[in-house]
Amino acid sequence: MNETRLPPPAEKVRRVTNLDIAIIASVIAILVFIYYRVEHVLVYNWNWGLIFEYVIRIDEATGDILPNLFLKGVAMTLRLAFWGTLIAAVIGIVMGLCRVSNNLFLKIGSRLYVELIRNIPPVVFIFVFYFFISSQIIPLLGLDNIEKTFSPTTLAVMRVLFGPTELFTNFLAGLICLAVFEGAYITEIVRAGIQAIGKGQWEAARAIGLSRYHVLRDVIMPQALKTILPPLAGQFITLVKDSSIVSLISVQELTFLTQDVSNTTTHFFEAWIVTAALYFMMCFPLAVLFQRFERSGMGMQKH
């Protein structure tokens, strides 16, 4: 091969077209209009300072800077998202395997689970399921008032991991709801990932005498994972956002606490704008991060 045969240098096209100008102009017009409405028609008395006190507050006695309701909400949302994803991933993988199983009972059971959740509004699901969990499952597992049985060190760790101990049962109920809900979507991601692997791989693996477990573990799942991880990462971001629905059952995460703030201060706009910004700040970096990973092949060796 001739080494001097380089491709022509790529031409960078970065011209501003008329369309660009039109778009920029309309965006500016819309912003000006909104500003006008808010300032002169709505006559809204902005008070950002008050709201920011709910983000961080300075302790009057000690002078320490402490997180206030918003940041506590963020912490709780992140806890929900983290544990929720872990549990939902476990549910999703188990149920996903059931979806492709040969066993009719497992197949029907997992299908039923997915279809039930996908065809009920999340809000309705949360109310129905919350009632079921908090009144049946948690007492059944002996998890109500569990915090009273822990030593102080355990409690300190638990506080970091699961939030305020007095709200532990409540958090757990919300977490299970969220995980069961998101698990259905992850189930479908896992199923699609497994089914994307060609029949030939199953057959070759079976033909060298691998058991069903090892076929899945050594041959199918490692390949399926490549298909599964990108949508799974997307689902994680969705979960951060969806976690706001557990505010309905009084889990004290960001959305719930924002309702608190906006009710006590009556500065709805500021409160919700701050919350929107906080959600964005949680989700957007994740989205960028996952895109990076995806481009580098999820950090997995290709060859």
Residues of this chain, 240-269, that bind another protein according to CB under 8 A: none
Those residues whose C-beta lies under 8 Å from the C-beta of residue 260, and which sit 6 or more positions away, are 69
Residue 201 is a binding residue for another protein (CB under 8 A): yes
Candidate residues 9, 142, 152, 200; the one interacting with another protein per rule CB under 8 A:
200
Q: Does 204 contact another protein by CB under 8 A?
A: yes
**Contact mark string toward another protein, 208..247, x via CB under 8 A:** xxxxx-x---xx--xx--x---------------------
206 touching another protein, by CB under 8 A:
yes
Q: Is residue 78 a contact residue for another protein (CB under 8 A)?
A: no
CB closer to another protein out of 80 and 93: 93
In the complex with another protein, the residue whose CB is nearer, 74 or 221, is: 221
Whose Cβ is closer to another protein: residue 50's or residue 210's?
A: 210
Q: Which is nearer to another protein, 177 or 219 (CB)?
A: 219
- Which residues of this chain interact with another protein, rule CB under 8 A? 198, 200-201, 203-212, 214, 218-219, 222-223, 226, 303
